[in-house]
Amino acid sequence: MKKVLCIIVSVFALLLGVNAVVFHFCYKYKEKVDSFTDAQYFGFPQHEIKQETAQTVADFASLKAAVEAKTNNITITSSFDFEETLFIDYACSITADGEITLSRKDDFVGDFFVLGEDKDGNKTALTRQISSLNLTNLTIDGKNIEASGSIVFLYNGSKATLGSGLTIKNCLKTGNERTLKEDNFCKLSYPERVGGAVAIVDRAELVIDGAQLLDCSVNTSSKTEVSYNGGTIYSQGVLIMNSGLIARSKAASGAGIYNYATTYLNGGEITECVASSNGGAVATPNTQYGNLVVVDAKITNNKAKNGGAFHQNLAASILIDGNNEIKNNQSTQNGGAIYSRGSVVIKNANFESNKAGGYGGAIYQEHDTSKTDSTIRFCELHSGAKFINNSTDGEFGGAIAANKNAIIKIFGATFQGNRNASNLNSGSAIIEASSNSAGEIHIYEINSLDEVEDWLTTFNFQEQDGLKGLIIDHSTEA
C-alpha cells in the first residue's frame, strides 16, 4: 500500500515540479522491488554516502595507494619524484605539510593527474562518479624534461582547483599522452603538444585561486623551437582565474592560455608570455564557443607576432570590464595589446605603453572580407577605457587601427599621448584628447565618408590630403 501511495504522490508531484519532495517522501518508505530501489525507480542517481577520509604520505608509492583507495584528503610530508600517472575518479584534495616539491622522474613523460576517467579508460560521468582535484601548498616541477603529458589533464566534465601556495613550473610538453576519442564534445584537430601545464577538454573546468604557473611551454623536440598552442593552459572547457600568476610561457599561439571555449580572468596576472604567432597572453581561435571575459586582471609585458596580449579569431568575442591593467605588451606586426577579428567590448581598462610594429599600438580591429559569413566585426569603447602612451612603428593607429568594414563604436574613452613613428597626421596621437587637429584612431582602406556614414554618423571626421583613410576626431562626444 505504501508503494502505491508513493507512486501516486510522485505522479502528482512531478506535474507540480517538486521532485525533491517526492524523493524525501519515498525514501522514508524504501522497499526493494526485484533488483531496483525506490530511488532508482524514480530516476534518482545512487551515490553512496560515506565520511571523508584523510591520510599522510611521504613517498610516491604511498600517494598512489591513497589515490587508489579514494582517500579524500591527502597531506604530503616529504618531497619525492612523480613516477606514473594517477587517475582521479573521485573528490580528492592534495596539500603539503612544509615546503614540498613533487618532481617529474627522469624517465616519466606522461600526465601527472588525469581526471574524468579511471585507469581502465571508463568515463567517470557514465559511472556517476564525481571527479575533482584540489591542489594547494605544493611545488610541482616538470624539470624541463621533454614530456608527452601535462601536469593536470581534465576530461569529461571533471573539475580541478589550483589553490594558494601551489606552484607548477618548468613544464615542457613535446607530445600528447592522452588519445582524445572521436566522440569528444570538442575534438582536437591537432591532438599534439597542447597545454604545457594543464589541458582541459570535453566540458571540464579549471579554477585558479592563487596558484603560480611558471616557465611552461609546448614545443617540438627542440627546446629552442616553439610550436603548437597553450604554453601553460589549453582549454576546451571552462577556465576561471580568480587570482594567481601565469608567467614566462611559450607557444605558437596562446603562450599563456589557448582558449577554445570560455575563459574568465577575474583577477591575477599574466606576464612575460611569448607567442611566436598569435596572442602572447591569450589566443582564441575561430569558434562560436570562444569567449574571453577580463575583469580586474593585470596583463603585462607579453609578446606575439599579432596581439601582444590577446588575439581572437572570427566568431570569438572579448569583454573587458573592471580594474584592468593592460600594459607594456608588444606585437611585431599588428595589435600591440589586442588583435581582433571578432568583437571587442571595452568598458573599463587602462591600455598603457603597448606597442605594435605595424598597425594599432593598443588595438587592431580587422574585418576579413575574404570570409563568407556576414558577421560584422566591431570594437566598442566606453567611458572607462583609457589609452595612454601607446605607439606603433607603422604609419597608422597609435592607439587603435581598423581595416575596411571593421567598426569602431565610441561611447566615451580617454586618449592621451598615443603616437605613430612616421606620420603624425595618420591616426597618431601626440597631443591631448581635446585637440581637433589629429585623431587617435585610424580606419584605413576607406576612400570616402559615404562608406561609413551609416554606422558612425555621430562623429566628426577629418579626411587627410593624400591619405587613403580617415581620422576619427575623438574629441566629439556621442
Question: In the 3-class helix/strand/coil scheme, how is 349-399 assigned residue by residue?
Answer: EEEECCEECCCCCCEEECCCCCCCCCCCCEEEEEEEEEEECCEECCCCCCC
Are 300 and 315 contained in the same domain?
no
For the stretch 196-232, pLDDT in tens is 999 998 789 999 999 999 999 998 666 666 778 899 9
**What pLDDT shows up at residue 40?**
35
Are 238 and 336 contained in the same domain?
no
In the chain, the number of structural domains is: 3
Are 70 and 161 contained in the same domain?
yes
Q: Give me the helix-helix angle, 19-27 and 2-16, nearest 10°.
A: 170
**What pLDDT shows up at residue 207?**
98
| Cα 361 from Cα 399, distance rounded (Å) | 5
Tell me the three state secondary structure of residue 255: coil
Task: Give the structural domain span for 366.
Answer: 309-478
Enter the C-alpha cell of residue 352: 598603457
Are 235 and 334 contained in the same domain?
no
Are 318 and 361 contained in the same domain?
yes
For strands 303-304 and 330-331, give the pairing. parallel
Are 37 and 54 contained in the same domain?
no
Are 34 and 55 contained in the same domain?
no
Enter the C-alpha cell of residue 392: 606603433
Are 168 and 217 contained in the same domain?
yes
Question: Which of the residues in the chain have pLDDT under 70?
Answer: 1-50, 124-129, 177-193, 220-225, 287-289, 368-376, 404-405, 422-478
**What pLDDT shows up at residue 405?**
66
Are 61 and 136 contained in the same domain?
yes
Are 112 and 143 contained in the same domain?
yes
Domain boundary among 288, 304, 320: 304
| Cα 95 from Cα 320, distance rounded (Å) | 34
Are 13 and 128 contained in the same domain?
no
Question: 298, 305 in Cβ contact below 8 A?
Answer: no
H or E segment and range at residue 75: strand 73-76
**What pLDDT shows up at residue 316?**
85
Are 300 and 324 contained in the same domain?
no
Look at residues 237, 136, 151, 225 and name the one whose alpha carbon lies nearest to residue 195: 151
